[in-house]
Chain A
Amino acid sequence: MMFQDAIGSEGESPTKWVKTCCSICGHNQCGVLVGIEGGKVTGIMADKDDPMSEGSICPKGIASIQILYHPQRIKYPMARDGERGSGKWKRISWEEALSTIAKKLNDIKSESGPEAVVMARGTNRGSWIRVFNRFANAFGTPNWTESGGAQCFTPRSISQNLTFGGIALEWPDPSKSSCLLVWGANPPATWPPKSKKLMSAKNGGAKLIVIDPVQSNIASKADVWLPVRPGTDVALALGMINIIINEGLYDQAYVNGYCTGFDELKKRASEYTPEKVSEITWVPKDKLIQAARMYAKNSPAAIAISATFDEIVDPIQLGRAVSILASITGNVDVAGGNIFPETAGQVFIDNNDFILIEGLPAEMDRKRLGADEYPLLSRYLKVNFPMAHYPTILNAILTGKPYPIRAMFIMGGNPALSIANSQMAVRALKSVEFLVVTDLFISKTAELADIILPASSWLEQDGLADTAQATYGHLRIRQKVASVEEAHSDIWIMIELAKKLGLPNFWNSEEDYLNYILSPLGITFEQLRSKGGVIRHNPDIGRRLKEGFNTPSKKIELYSGRLKEWGYDPLPFYTEPFESPYSTPDVFREYPLVMTTGRRVSTFFHTGQRNIPTLRDINPEPLLEINPKTASSLNISNEEMVRVETPRGSVILKAKLTEGIDPRVVGVPHGWADEANDNLITDNSKCALGIGTTPLRGGLCRVMRLSN
């Protein structure tokens, strides 16, 4: 389909379809066609010709039309007109908003230093992570962070980079796979393009193994489903490695040619016998053995993972162990296995160059909150955007230690709901001296702001779908098809605020920014638009096998010399969750169920979209997944309201009885507000070794009927 002028004229008919890329979840970036009639968006459909998403779409993308025309959209900048959180706002101009913010931030910078300003991001509405990071570095603060942060992507990136110098587990190559191993991910709800590739391979005859405490959408299609006890995945991975080595099912030639440290690994893995692993993980021994053999014997095999890899008690070890599992079976950098993302968009300009990492003075880098305690998050391996540790930031706001935090600029984030320990997060948001939030709607976080800036949705932006995570190499453009009052893209907001702040090295306009990204190609955004807006890219499979991996030894490091040098165990090892039937038996007596928080459905991305009619109608209520036997013993019937309590607090949910969960485990959904907010019952007091993750899988709880 050819590109056309984006906005149709009033009264025009029939429907004109514009090709663009969705960004409702910020990372899938599915290619879509937007129908326009009489100047209004009337429909959104998958673009079956898109080289990346191949016809994938989700309910959120389809329902984005209701985001565009939602009456609750923030339409212009607003300043609070009463106490913080009073809900009273007055409209201000962009000029006043940006000038006020710039003056306040520059005042704080000169009085208390730039580190007193925290820049925190959430949802990537478009592709602006790097821009926001550059903004922070240009301003001079080391305290840039993400609601995801140590909870999403960073741990699994660090662990994979340590092992094979890239992030191959992010990219299964299912079309040529004989076996698919989906671990802690439910792509039909969260990753449609990946899901489509996996399901096509499954329907073409590939075996499917799914590891998830709950029988998820994808688990329902599995040949083998391993309902692992939440948070014990590292033991499961080491158990599979042990079986594969013991039974001689590993790829000896691949190990000899491309890996180092196999003997040390073999010794470590031998500690994880099938009996011991079954006891730890609650996965029956025969199923564990069946899964290990199935994965090892059906080559090539591809692994698909997601945020569970970053939300357990020790995510670095899980990323390491599963990277090793893929490596010893010869499935890394081979067609049909796991391959390395080389994205047409982001390979052009090195991330660290883009974010001007050298521009941040060394003394500021040293002041980064949480970096001393969690150096894997930002200090040792600068392959991601170095970031401050969110719980440490909250603590600094509340205690003034190690130094005061006076302002927070939150872009696309909703930490009042999205990070562990909401009680603490809300206290911090209320007490920080100056809070600016950009969003489409007045979120629980925006409610507490001094100034709210109206952000735009993906339908209102020109841009590039260029995030490395999910593009499978193809670069595509996003086209603006509509506008809402005075809302602007997050990138526009940063560019204009940078001008007011007098920041060096920013752009004059969004178009300048887009042309900068495309400059290594010698093409402008408008030229790319006129040429169809798609740059296809074939991943360079097998290059590392020929040229060496991006590690000190140029090999896949089963034994990590770097981890040893930094004072950590060079081999993966299992850690029992901080709170569990075995680590805290006293707590277990009072709270006898194991809990996994963070369950997702296809209609919502994180804390968003509960106010979108169609999406809320499909999933109207927050559901607690609970086994009928457990429910029966607690006198709870299906669809009854229940209270879930932990030592931290309680939430109120509706019981969904399902045989797809262990009677000893319950599944708590994420992203709901008020009494259903799962982060009222999560813990951020103890974080993962070196990386600072707050564990969200495997705590303890008790469940009771709400009414008697």
Chain B
Amino acid sequence: MKHAVVVELDKCVGCNACTAACKIKNKTPKDIFWRKIVEIEHGEFPDVKKTYFPLMCMHCENPECLKVCPTGATYRTADGIVLIDYDKCLGCKYCIVACPYMERFFNSGDDWSDWVSEGLKQAIPKGVVEKCDLCNDRVQDGQNPLCVDTCPYDALHFGDMDDSPIKHLIQDKKAWTLKEDDSYKPSVYYIGEIE
């Protein structure tokens, strides 16, 4: 079993519902986004093409972050989710440097304390590195990651690479990954052109 996410770029309109759902669920502090949508422009006015490009932890099969972690805080589950044990993380930030996708974030302890009430403060302890956990709690419960279930446009798909519709989606629609030529083997696939 190996979990994967497929993003259909043609369907993403950049509404950021996924971003908001992720931030609310994971109570991430200011400026930390476990997932985000970046705008990519090609061409010049008026022949310009804008693409909304969702980014998140790629949950690599060969994660660089895991290799450099000195305490074993970063680990990969049997079903392909890369996680961080916050109790073991020292906040050394090696993984932030190592991640080829820049999808790891240091939690400096700045929170929403001057903005929101007690119950909504950040869930992750300060002084550690945090990132997308693919909603492991939901996935273990048989659900999709929250971003996938939130997307109003069905631009996001989740499933088992070994046995699910997304395996065929990846093959039929010629899905690709970021930094495909390297050895990281990300679990997040994209469908569609960006030019």
Q: Is the CB of A69 within 8 A of B152?
A: no
Residue in contact with A220 in the complex, picked from B33, B46, B50, B120, CB distance below 8 Å: B50
A613 touches B115 (CB 8 A): yes
Query: Cβ of A661: which chain B residues have Cβ within 8 Å of it?
Result: 45
Minimum CB distance partner of A196 in chain B: B152
The reply on A225 being an interface residue by CB < 8 A is: yes
Q: Enumerate chain B residues within 8 angstroms of A62, measured Cβ to Cβ.
A: 17, 20-21, 24, 150
| A658 contact from B19, B41, B49, Cβ within 8 A | B41
B101 in the interface, Cβ–Cβ < 8 Å? no
A221 CA to B153 CA in the complex, in Å? 13
B84 → chain A closest CB, angstroms:
21
Structural contact, A627 and B15, CB atoms closer than 8 A: no
User: Could you tell me if B23 and A617 are in contact, using CB atoms closer than 8 angstroms?
Assistant: yes
User: Assuming the A-B contacts A69-B116, A203-B11, A221-B10, are A659 and B23 also in contact, with contact meaning beta carbons closer than 8 angstroms in the complex?
Assistant: no
State which of B10, B14, B46 has its C-beta within 8 Å of the C-beta of A225.
B46
CB pair B49–A220 under 8 Å, yes or no, is: yes
Q: A40-B119, A227-B45 are in contact. Are A618 and B13 (CB under 8 A)?
A: no
Point out the residues of chain A lying under 8 angstroms from B16, CB to CB.
59, 602-603, 618
Bound-complex Cα distance A220 to B40 (A): 11
Q: Given the known A-B contacts A227-B45, A613-B116, A660-B50, are A199 and B24 also in contact in the complex, defined by CB atoms under 8 Å?
A: no
Select the residue from B21, B119, B152 with max chain A CB neighbours within 10 A.
B152
Which residues of B in the span 1-59 have a Cβ within 8 Å of any Cβ on A? 10-11, 13-17, 19-21, 23-25, 30-31, 33, 41, 43-46, 48-52
Chain B contributes a number of interface residues (CB within 8 A of A) equal to 36
Q: Which residues of chain A come closer than 8 Å to B112, judged between CB atoms?
A: 613
Q: Which residue of A lies closest to B32 (CB)?
A: A617
Given contacts A221-B13, A225-B46, A658-B41, contact A614 B149 (CB under 8 A): no
Q: Which residues of the other chain, B, contact A92 by a CB distance below 8 angstroms?
A: none
Nearest chain B CB to A335's CB is how many angstroms away?
23
Which residues of B lie under 8 Å from residue A225 when comparing CB positions? Answer: 46
Shortest CB distance B176–A (Å): 20
Interface size class of A (residues with CB under 8 A): 35 or more
Complex: how many Å from CA A487 to CA B25?
A: 26
A660-B24 in contact given A56-B152, A70-B117 (Cβ < 8 Å): no
A43 touching B20, Cβ below 8 Å? no
Give the chain A neighbours of B15 by CB distance below 8 A.
58-59, 188-189, 192, 195, 217, 602
Q: Which of chain A's residues has its CB closest to B155's CB?
A: A199
**Is A689 in contact with chain B by the CB < 8 A criterion?**
no
Judged by a CB distance under 8 angstroms, whether A387 is at the interface is no
A218–B14 CA distance with the chains assembled, in angstroms:
9
Is there a chain B Cβ closer than 8 Å to A215's Cβ?
yes
Given contacts A63-B20, A69-B117, contact A215 B153 (CB under 8 A): no
Q: Are A65 and B150 interface neighbours, CB within 8 A? A: no
Q: Contact mask B142-163 → A, CB, 8 Å, 1/0?
A: 0000000110110000000000
Q: Tell me whether B31 and A617 are in contact (CB under 8 A).
A: yes
Closest chain A residue to B141 by CB distance? A14
Chain B residues at the A interface, C-beta cutoff of 8 Å? 10-11, 13-17, 19-21, 23-25, 30-31, 33, 41, 43-46, 48-52, 112, 115-117, 119-120, 149-150, 152-153
Query: 29 A–B contact pairs at CB < 8 A?
Result: A40-B119, A44-B24, A57-B150, A57-B152, A62-B24, A65-B24, A70-B116, A71-B115, A192-B15, A192-B152, A203-B10, A203-B11, A217-B15, A220-B14, A220-B49, A220-B52, A225-B46, A227-B45, A227-B46, A284-B46, A602-B16, A611-B115, A613-B112, A615-B20, A617-B33, A659-B45, A660-B45, A660-B50, A663-B45
A interface residues, Cβ below 8 angstroms from B: 40, 43-46, 55-59, 62-63, 65-66, 69-71, 188-189, 192, 195-196, 199, 203, 215, 217-221, 225, 227, 284, 287, 602-603, 611, 613-615, 617-618, 627, 658-663
Beyond A62-B21, A615-B20, A659-B43, 6 extra complex contacts between A and B, CB < 8 Å: A40-B119, A58-B17, A71-B115, A195-B13, A227-B46, A602-B15
